[in-house]
Amino acid sequence: MAGAFLPFTRPTIDEETIAGVAEVLRSGWITSGPQVRAFEAALSGHCGGRPVRVLNSGTAALELGLRIAGVGPDDEVITSPLTWVATANVVLAVGARPVFVDVDPATRNLDLAQLEAAITPSTTAIIPVDLAGLPVDRDRLYAIAERHDLRVIEDAAQSFGANWRGRPIGAAGDLVAFSFHANKNVTTAEGGALVLADETQARMAEKLRLQGVTRSGEDGMDVDVLGYKFNLTDVAARIGLGQLARLAEFTEKRRALARRYFERFDPDLGCGLPVPDFAQSNWHMFQVTLPLERLAFGRGEFIARMRAEGIGVGVHYPAVHLFSLYRVMGWRAGDFPHAEAIGASIVTLPLFPAMEAHDVDRVCAAVAKVIEGGLA
């Protein structure tokens, strides 16, 4: 094995941010406080001045988005089966039913050409997913939503820093949920944010994220809605502030690395490559589909052999509707052939800002070696 192990992702946290976290720890105020407010203000600036409330996960952001949109029992919510399972789980959490629509095989995002056929009188919302940071076509999506009077809760967990036609994701639209998990382009270790339409929605998000509490004065407190424990800490927010300051730098580096992949990847291997979007995508991940029909082994063995070469590989994601929880709801293999085929063969190759061009070359060489060594 040549060289140090290269994981598929690694956060880049600078010394100034680490020092800032130490200052927060010494301050005596480590839960939600001034750093959270500063982070929310900075995020609002990124999102065109819209109100933003930070939370302890992107999952919490999606759930609060559904609740603020009024989605509940007997409602149907359309989403993609090719996503992290949280996208569908939050629909169940509010008592609604997830309805899946297959993905476009090129973009791997929700196939908008099939979306309207899935809308029923019970449909109240759509959760589009920007897989790997490639934005769903917002123009077509919102035209459909407006035509059918549907709410949109954007699962932009992977697309912070991406844009649609030059406007940052989050600067327009209905409700937009971000994730700041450790593997995201901007991280708070764990965390998320919800972009809202107005201050009324923002105040509701504040209540819902902390047990439904409303405060007035020194000793006035009331609870008039059922809330949750979804607040973000000041420690996490301080990490986020340091990360946000470097977003443009991180995005530029990711795009350069992605370009290098396209330059160095051998097309004769038979892998399916992502859409080469360098104007809008934030290149959260570089994902390829394996030519399993040509190989004498499966994806698990490919990953093991790549690890033996010193390369970490991820799987993002198996098709959600094939998990046991969703099979009992009636979903079956064959329902969404594109999502199933992609979910069974997709792998995530290393891509993070600390990588260099020679790391990409090393990954491409290892992929070629493993695939060529496994041809049936």
Query: Residue by residue, what is the 3-state secondary structure of 185-201?
Result: CCCCCCCEEEECCCHHH
Q: How far apart are CA 134 and CA 286, in angstroms?
A: 11
* φ, ψ for residue 185, nearest 5 deg: -65, -35
Nearest Cα neighbor of 48 from 143, 176, 153 is: 176
Q: How far apart are CA 113 and CA 117, in angstroms?
A: 8
DSSP summary character for residue 265? S
3-state secondary structure of 153: strand
Question: Longest Cα pair distance anywhere in the chain, in angstroms?
Answer: 73
* φ, ψ for residue 38, nearest 5 deg: -65, -40
Which structure tokens are listed for 355? 């990588």
Cβ contact 299:290 at 8 Å: yes
Known catalytic membership, residue 184: yes
Catalytic residue among 184, 229, 253, 369: 184
Which structure tokens are listed for 74? 């007997």
Catalytic residues: 184
